[in-house]
Structure 1
């Protein structure tokens, strides 16, 4: 593929389970299945968002088995219900998401018994690794949240998702939660993730990166050729690079002291001089 296939941050997409993978738009929104379809392998399985934690199957590559990607879906409209008694937290301007695992109040055993939590535990071992070669294998987390849209005079809570970025697992903890319906306590996982900066591609994710990670012919290093610069910095430097790799929208709005000074000779400059707040 010669050109980037970009998925912009905060893009709202139409997510329909059996939608075409060749139609760019669906019901006036970007078609999720178009933008996430592998160009290199048209027969590759779809990247589904049917569960909260959606881990692709492992693939065999020249340098070993790897999981291409894990897609996380948060459904705010379910928060506080018996099926989802926890509340995920989003602060995308500062590149932070707190996401709870998929252990339910009715599930027995430790948090790793569910498929989603097991995939997150496996990913954490690579995200927390001190060896760059291990981090190179780490599956990126692609984060989405369900959004309510108005169409045809109706508010639709299902069928649309907002892209919230690609992320590194910064911390993973075991927690005890309480089911608000029954009062029962149950164990779960909670992740603090760093949403990475996508400034080098205009605050959008180059989906060729995900295509490459799914390509069984590519080793991990070649599969990272279209990864964001912030992700590649983290691969090289590890945890110490996270503060510089994190998405920070507000930083671009902060002006230096010099930039905030009024134009010399202006009325604003004269006023500040009279107040003794501007050095001559």
Structure 2
């Protein structure tokens, strides 16, 4: 059943379209549908669209498109079932990760905390497709949903002063990848050689909200091989269609 979104005015050059007041897959899907359709239509006067867990911020130029016209477009897209269904299509990024050792110093702690072996933690972590709800916090950081509660683990009591770029961590019931070398308090269980943020690229962020991440276990040897390919700009992340994947 269609539920009309709530519109919040954010100054004279932006509006926030809210689809709910909770973090849920259904609410985020409505956000992503509107986000993708506005991108596809490439409407003159809309400067940018920024998705979050439950809302979409639309920045616009009032000299090129009126507030009333923008509201009409949002309403038409939100009510259109055919277009909404078309916009659901998503990509799956397969991210290679080496787990444990110097790459994942907290893997054993996560295992012990959850009464599991390190191998069981890795198997559980690499099973799901993780939905990218939004990009934020720092450049290219993806907020992922779908991690099993079986490996949920509290953050470090004292954050590290530096966590290497590519580190894969767990904090509470969330998992994520550090796109840059920054301070952080997540439990680090592995690392990927893939670059998530490249400011010199035409598309600086690897991920996009609404798509999915699949973690794939690799060896240390494979890690260094991929790392060299990334440095030479010849490595290609494997990307597939979400519709062809089984959901765990």
Query: Which category of TM-score, normalised to the shorter sequence, fits these structures?
Result: under 0.3
Larger Rg: 1
TM-score normalised per structure 1: 0.24
TM-score normalised per structure 2: 0.26
